[in-house]
């Protein structure tokens, strides 16, 4: 195992499961000290015991909690080199029937949550004139399929926020990049497919098999595969990469077609 992140300090939101948890494991394995944030306290505690990361329950929609978490990381580690925004939720809706509360909630978590974390972390990074931000968006940002209106809008906004960060703060030595996964076998995607299976009278694995058939590599990604993409963007291996959007969808050329109607 390499030590790309030896001496580095990182903060990861949405860390309790899925891609976020794998990113935490990868960072710790490669030498970083990590503060893992999530609202799922029990899962977060289990991750901390397993990986050796620090952890704190934090709701990214709570400005006070976010600022407290950043301050805690900087006190504990003496610095904050890497921020990964992996917190996210999904709901099914279309434009004609969007519920205002659902729209607001998805944007508050998926987009504004990342903004709050970046806003709180930037002053320290600017003082040190170094830092790496990795935002986890989705291919839905570019291929908004039926039933994904609010989710897709939030992820498209996250891509735009990432590019704005990269352009404005590159002069301060801060890089900002965005990872856009396709279908990944996570608790979130399993819930989506479980709902689809229930609606169509099929089985969960049948729904995943149908998706896999539409992907060039013929399978659904594992969370650790997405984590390795994120770690690349956070590392010095990507030292001249900023404002980039890395699409990791297994060759699903039109990801919208992979989501059942």
Catalytic residue list: 151
- The answer to whether the beta carbons of residues 2 and 30 sit under 8 Å apart is yes
What token pair was written down for 46? 């289990």
Residues with Cβ within 8 Å of residue 155, at least 6 apart in sequence: 88, 110, 111, 137, 138, 140, 141, 180
Measured N-to-C along each axis, helices 149-169 and 113-128 cross at an angle, to the nearest 10 degrees, of 10
- The answer to whether the beta carbons of residues 121 and 131 sit under 8 Å apart is yes
Q: Which residues of 16-54 are buried (b: 16+ CB within 10 A; e: fewer)?
A: bbbbbbbbbbbbbbbebbbbbbbbeeebbeebbeebebb
Tokens 């996210």, located at residue: 88
Which residue(s) pair with 184 in the sheet? 221
What token pair was written down for 44? 């977060």
- The answer to whether the beta carbons of residues 72 and 33 sit under 8 Å apart is no
Query: In residues, how long is the chain?
Result: 261
Measured N-to-C along each axis, helices 41-51 and 18-29 cross at an angle, to the nearest 10 degrees, of 20
Can you tell me the distance from the alpha carbon of 181 to that of 33, in angstroms, rounded to the nearest whole number? 25
């Amino acid at each position: 195992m390499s030590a790309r992140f030896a001496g580095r300090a990182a903060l990861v939101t949405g860390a309790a499961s899925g891609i976020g948890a794998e990113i935490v494991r990868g960072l710790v394995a490669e030498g970083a000290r990590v503060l893992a944030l999530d609202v799922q306290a029990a899962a977060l505690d289990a991750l901390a015991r397993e990986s050796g990361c620090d952890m704190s329950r934090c709701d990214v929609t709570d400005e006070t909690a976010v600022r407290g978490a950043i301050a805690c990381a900087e006190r504990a580690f003496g610095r904050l080199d890497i921020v990964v925004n992996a917190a996210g939720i999904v709901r099914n809706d279309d434009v004609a029937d969007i519920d205002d509360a659902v729209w607001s909630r998805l944007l508050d978590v998926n987009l504004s949550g990342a903004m709050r974390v970046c806003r709180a972390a930037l002053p320290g990074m600017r003082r040190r004139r170094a830092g790496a931000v990795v935002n986890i968006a989705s291919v839905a940002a570019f291929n908004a399929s039926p039933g994904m209106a609010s989710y897709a809008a939030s992820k498209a906004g996250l891509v735009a926020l990432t590019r704005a960060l990269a352009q404005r703060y590159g002069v301060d030595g801060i890089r900002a990049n965005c990872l856009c996964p396709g279908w990944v076998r996570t608790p979130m995607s399993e819930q989506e497919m479980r709902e689809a299976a229930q609606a169509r009278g099929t089985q969960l694995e049948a729904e995943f098999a149908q998706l896999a058939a539409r992907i060039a590599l013929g399978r659904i990604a594992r969370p650790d595969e997405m984590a390795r993409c994120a770690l690349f963007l956070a590392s010095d291996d990507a030292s001249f990469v900023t404002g980039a959007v890395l699409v990791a969808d297994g060759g699903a050329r039109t990801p919208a077609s992979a989501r059942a109607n």
